[in-house]
Amino acid sequence: MKAIGVLVGTGFVLAFAAGLLVVGGAAGLAWTNTEKFCIGCHEMRDNVYAEYKGTIHDTNRTGVRAICSDCHVPREPGALIKRKMAASFELWGALVGTIDTREKFEAHRSTLAQHVWRRMKETDSLECRNCHHADRMDSEKQSEKAKARHAKGKAEGKTCIDCHFGIAHKEPEGPGPSEMKLN
């Protein structure tokens, strides 16, 4: 009888510990998706966040505001975990000072942008589509130029980032995402 009590007690302790890990992990993921976390290091606060301030994604007539994670973190669980694992390497770069000055950041800007563009192209700009739904766009409210470009882009199999880059952050020197080839 005593052995059963020990097993049940051990089971409860293990279940409680597992629950704490799950809840703690979820809380940690949620915390790393906050704007406060994203701009917690000066590399992001002084460079890309400063550029983002005042853009259409920061302030606009509708009051809808996209924060860093809305555009840079997938919502689907598998892709989210994959992105968070990749981000751990980015944190390492911050710790060792890869982009800890404006000059270093600018030297890496194109490479950093290309990583984001490649991921967005691979997911058909999924993060854009979390807020912007092509099937809900009112083409009558678009300029003739925008209507024509959207139709052409769709016909050519382009994705949002092929044309809509440099909107929230300074555009780097060199080719844009439409010139990138995916493997």
* Residue 11 confidence class, pLDDT cut points 50, 70, 90: confident
Task: Look at the domain 31-179 and name its fold.
Answer: Multiheme cytochrome fold (1.10.3820)
Q: Which has the higher per-residue pLDDT, 88 or 58? A: 58
Residues 60-105 have pLDDT tens digits of 888 989 999 999 999 888 888 899 888 888 888 888 989 999 999 9
* Half-sphere exposure at residue 179, Cβ-oriented, CA atoms within 13 angstroms: 4
Contacts of 146 (CB under 8 A, 6+ apart): none
69, 34 contact by CB (below 8 A): yes
Residue whose structure tokens are 């051990």 = 10
- Domain boundaries in the chain? 31-179
The span from the CA of 99 to the CA of 97, in Å, is: 5
**What pTM, to 2 d.p., does this model score?**
0.80
